[in-house]
């Protein structure tokens, strides 16, 4: 056992000495690496005195690390002038700057060509044509017309237009035959005033309605709850439908009554009414919407307040 302990102690001493040697080697290596870094930094500064990201006015590091101090006395003499003289000189310079000599021999400003020059050329042609008409009216010679036409060859195209197209250069009155076009004879439509609401009389059961509103803008046939109770039309069918009124408010319906017979004149039309709990209008109590008007293909005459089935 003693031998074993001695061996263990010897091995431990050896390991301690080896660790000390390793730490000494590492320390020497780190010192040499730091020296190399300093040497490389000095070399890079000598080769590249201006690094990236620095300005030209930055001071250079003293490469030789020599400290010196130089003092040079600088004397600056400033001549002070009175304020009045300075202001006078400035005003004189300002007057000189404001005076501008007129340029001599100004070059003419180039005039751009007019847009759509062909319309101006057409006006010139129209003037020549009018002149040709005046000459033609005063034309009287004792020579054959063919010889005269050859002498005034420059007017040949105007004469050709006169014969073929019969152009009119001025605002003249044109005599129209008895076969007048319908476009000329049409007159403007006379305006009408607002005829008011389109209403018709109808009968539902034993109740007569003098004015029932026919509304093309309504998608349903509307009946107030009070009128529904008076008419005794049976039990309404429940529904989850909501109505959006003209003021954009949402109303909940009481129900829907199916196949209600509405008598208009001699016609009996089956109609579905939605029941709404609202105030009854004394003048217009029920509303007949697009479903009622489409049932019999109704044609409404707004001027005469008549409906045709």
Per-residue pLDDT tens digits for 272-305? 999 998 888 888 889 999 999 888 888 888 878 7
- The SS3 of residue 221 is strand
Whether 225 and 285 map to the same domain: the answer is: yes
- 26 pLDDT higher than 80: yes
Where residue 206 falls among pLDDT bands split at 50, 70, 90?
Answer: confident
The number of folded domains in the chain is 3
- 288: CATH: 2.40.70.10
Q: Could you tell me the residue range of the domain that residue 153 belongs to?
A: 119-170
% of the chain at pLDDT higher than 70: 62
Answer yes or no: is 3 within a domain. Answer: yes
Whether 296 and 206 map to the same domain: the answer is: yes
Whether 205 and 297 map to the same domain: the answer is: yes
Whether 164 and 205 map to the same domain: the answer is: no
- 18 pLDDT higher than 80: yes
Q: What is the pTM of this model?
A: 0.40
Answer yes or no: is 58 within a domain. Answer: no
Whether 147 and 241 map to the same domain: the answer is: no
Answer yes or no: is 141 within a domain. Answer: yes
Answer yes or no: is 234 within a domain. Answer: yes
Whether 129 and 211 map to the same domain: the answer is: no
Answer yes or no: is 75 within a domain. Answer: no
For the residues 238-258, what does the mean pLDDT come to? 88
Per-residue pLDDT tens digits for 163-205? 665 555 556 565 655 555 555 555 677 888 888 888 888 999 8
Neighbours of 6 (CB within 10 A): 10
Answer yes or no: is 145 within a domain. Answer: yes
Answer yes or no: is 180 within a domain. Answer: no
% of the chain at pLDDT higher than 90: 6
- 250 pLDDT higher than 50: yes
Per-residue pLDDT tens digits for 28-62? 888 888 888 888 888 877 766 555 555 555 555 55
Answer yes or no: is 265 within a domain. Answer: yes
- 126 pLDDT higher than 70: no
Whether 233 and 299 map to the same domain: the answer is: yes
Whether 238 and 287 map to the same domain: the answer is: yes
What integer pLDDT is reported at residue 255 of this predicted model? 92
Whether 127 and 228 map to the same domain: the answer is: no
């Amino acid at each position: 056992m003693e031998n074993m302990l001695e061996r263990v102690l010897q091995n431990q001493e050896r390991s301690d000495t080896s660790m000390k040697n390793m730490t000494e080697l590492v320390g020497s290596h780190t010192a040499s690496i730091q020296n190399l870094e300093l040497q490389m930094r000095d070399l890079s500064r000598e080769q590249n005195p201006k690094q990236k990201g620095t300005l030209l006015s930055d001071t250079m590091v003293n490469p030789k690390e020599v400290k010196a101090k130089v003092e040079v006395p600088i004397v600056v003499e400033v001549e002070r002038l009175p304020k009045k003289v300075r202001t006078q000189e400035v005003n004189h310079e300002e007057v000189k700057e404001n005076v501008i000599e007129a340029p001599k021999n100004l070059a003419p400003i180039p005039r751009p060509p007019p847009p759509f020059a062909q319309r101006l050329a057409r006006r010139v042609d129209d003037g020549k044509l009018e002149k040709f008409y005046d000459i033609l009216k005063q034309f009287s010679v004792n020579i054959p017309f063919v010889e005269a036409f050859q002498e005034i060859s420059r007017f040949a195209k105007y004469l050709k237009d006169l014969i073929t197209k019969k152009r009119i250069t001025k605002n003249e009155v044109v005599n129209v035959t008895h076969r007048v076009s319908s476009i000329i004879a049409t007159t403007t439509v006379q305006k009408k005033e607002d005829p008011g609401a389109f209403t018709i009389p109808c009968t539902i059961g034993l109740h007569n309605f003098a004015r029932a509103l026919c509304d093309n803008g309504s998608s349903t046939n509307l009946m107030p709850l009070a009128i529904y109770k008076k008419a005794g039309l049976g039990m309404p069918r429940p529904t989850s439908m909501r109505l959006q009124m003209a003021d954009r408010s949402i109303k909940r319906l009481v129900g829907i009554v199916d196949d209600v017979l509405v008598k208009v004149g001699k016609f009996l039309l089956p109609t579905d009414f939605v029941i709404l709990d609202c105030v009854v209008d004394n003048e217009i109590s029920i509303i007949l919407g697009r479903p009622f008007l489409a049932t019999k293909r109704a044609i409404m005459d707004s001027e005469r307040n008549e409906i045709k089935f």
